[in-house]
């Protein structure tokens, strides 16, 4: 069922590498620049998936997100993209934290600990935090719906 190549686990920067880069850079503006690079390198979504239905609301920029469940591996695959590169960088962080996990793993992931570790809570504007939370909610809802449909 999974035939998509974008945002595949192999293309993603691991969370540990993002942590190390953030620690190395230290300065919040330099960290944002790094997010831009992560965003520029994020694999793109197919244009036909950028529909109104797949739009995540609450973001200042456009964000599209699709989740696919793989029955064999019982894992949820995420595909997302924004037209703003800093937001794309944040998507890279979310994908690093959530990609190809079981719905239960996703629900048990403490994403705010990840944001804390990266200092994002301090450096993001309230609007951007809103958008980020919108994306997190969308991922969690997909995981929850899947878990309710098919308890593991």
Kindly identify the residues of this chain, within the stretch 32-71, that bind another protein according to CB under 8 A.
Answer: 32-33, 36, 40, 60-62
Work out whether 29 is an interface residue with another protein (CB under 8 A).
yes
**Do 35 and 90 contact (CB within 8 A), yes or no?**
yes
CA end-to-end distance (rounded Å), the chain: 19
Whether 59 is a known active-site residue: answer: yes
Rounded to whole angstroms, the Cα distance separating 74 from 51 reads 26
Nearer to another protein by C-beta: 128 or 146?
Answer: 128
Q: What are the residues whose beta carbons fall under 8 Å from the beta carbon of 3, sequence distance 6 or more?
A: none
Within 85-125, residue ranges assigned H as helices are 85-98, 103-108, 111-118, 120-123
Work out whether 87 is an interface residue with another protein (CB under 8 A).
yes
Work out whether 9 is an interface residue with another protein (CB under 8 A).
no
The piece of 9-17, 84-92, 103-111, 113-121 that touches another protein (CB under 8 A) is: 84-92
Point out the residues that are catalytic: 59
Kindly list the residues in this chain that would bind another protein in the complex (CB under 8 A): 29, 32-33, 36, 40, 60-62, 82-87
């Amino acid at each position: 069922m999974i035939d998509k190549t974008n945002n595949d686990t192999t293309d993603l920067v691991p969370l540990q590498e993002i942590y190390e880069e953030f620690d190395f850079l230290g300065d919040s503006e330099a960290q944002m620049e790094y997010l831009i690079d992560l965003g520029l390198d994020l694999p793109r979504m197919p244009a036909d998936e950028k529909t109104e239905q797949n739009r995540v609301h609450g973001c200042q920029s456009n964000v599209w997100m699709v989740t696919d469940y793989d029955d064999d591996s019982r894992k949820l695959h995420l595909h997302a993209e924004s037209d703003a590169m800093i937001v794309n960088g944040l998507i890279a962080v979310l994908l690093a934290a959530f990609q190809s996990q079981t719905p239960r793993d996703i629900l048990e992931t403490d994403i705010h600990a990840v944001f804390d570790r990266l200092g994002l809570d301090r450096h993001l504007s309230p609007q951007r935090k809103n958008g980020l939370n919108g994306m997190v909610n969308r991922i969690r809802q997909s995981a929850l719906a899947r878990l309710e449909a098919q308890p593991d």
